[in-house]
Structure 1
Amino acid sequence: MANVTFHQDPVTLMGNELKAGDQAPEFTVLSNGLEKVTLDDYKGSVKLISVVPSIDTGVCADQTKRFNEEADKIGNVKVLTVSMDLPFAQKRWVKKHDITKLDTLSDHRDADFGEKYGVLIKEMRLLTRSIFVVDSNNRITYAEYVSENTNHPDYDKALEAAGKAE
């Protein structure tokens, strides 16, 4: 598993670490309207999945805003942000920050995404900061587990991978 810290303290990630070349696991999360959303709902599209511990904190907010701003530049890519935040909190945050080019999705109910993508922090029931690019055939082409949760991901590498994925 990826070695990850939260404020420099080691944390335990639940599930298996995914790598480029792996088949993206199916998952179920909730939309801001409380509807079930699955990977299959984005079938045939390239997906950039941005994972944050809590959308309403500094680095997480910056990460989500950055991918919202970059969404038009990377072509026909569906951008998703997944967190453990309640759908109601995500909806308020999205409205407040005028986020219109990505989907915010909640893993709060079942932690299904977190366990299947190896990003669920056992000690906190939060998701570790990470990025996955999934091609139109649901194959992972890029995966980054950010080693320190308070750090930003490598935006340029993630955006480049999303732009190249088919």
Structure 2
Amino acid sequence: MVQVTFHDNRVTLPNKEVKVGDQIPNFTVLDNDLNPVTAQDTAGKVRLFTVSPSLDTSVCSDQAKRFSKEASTLGDDVAVYYVTCDLPFAQKRWVEVNEAKNLTTLSDHRDLSFGEAFGVTMQELRLLARSIFVVDENDKVTYVEYVPEGTNHPNYDKAIEAVKELTK
């Protein structure tokens, strides 16, 4: 069972852990135009799902900026999705202000479907725990990082390396 803290306080996550080798769990989130997006809608490419509590915090914003920059070098066979519980309108505004054109923001605010499926819903806060998931074009999870302390950065280099391994 995954254990994480947020500001050094232990938080409760769903009793679900996605592991390398698992098939991508199903989920439904919203895009910036309030359209539903499911796991099946993302299929056919290598996917990096970068997850955080909120784009309105410095670490989360830095995480999104870093993966947007990295996404520009990964090619057309890779899709980068940034999942938070922020409202789609706030995500859209953040993307415009930060010119983050190389990633797709997805909102899990409505149902916490992604958070529950991937085991990253911080139940006390109704936010998503910082985490990274890389999924190949056949829907197999090939890299997982649950960041132990929610205010810390993920391991960007390992995540990008995991994507590049799939695109060789």
Q: Which residue of 2 aligns with 1:38?
A: 38
1:151-162 matched pairs, under 5 angstroms: 151-162=152-163
Q: Is the 8 A contact 1:15 1:117 kept in 2?
A: no
Give the drift of 1:42.
1.7
CA-to-aligned-CA distance 1:126-158 (integer Å, 9 cap, x gap): 000000000001110000000000000000000
Give the aligned length: 166
Partner SS state of residue 72, structure 2: helix
Give the drift of 1:103.
0.2
Runs of 4+ in 1 over 4 A off after TM superposition: none
Give the drift of 1:39.
1.3
Output the CA distance in 1 between the equivalents of 2:144 and 2:73.
20
Q: Which residue of 1 aligns with 2:104?
A: 103
1:1-166 matched pairs, under 5 angstroms: 1-75=1-75, 76-165=77-166
Output the CA distance in 2 between the equivalents of 1:141 and 1:15.
20
Partner SS state of residue 41, structure 2: helix
CA-to-aligned-CA distance 1:13-36 (integer Å, 9 cap, x gap): 024011110111011000000000
Q: Is the 8 A contact 1:53 1:126 kept in 2?
A: yes
Unpaired runs of at least 5, structure 2: none
Unpaired runs of at least 5, structure 1: none
Instruction: Compare 38-47 and 148-157 and name the one that shifted more.
Output: 38-47
Output the CA distance in 2 between the equivalents of 1:19 and 1:55.
26
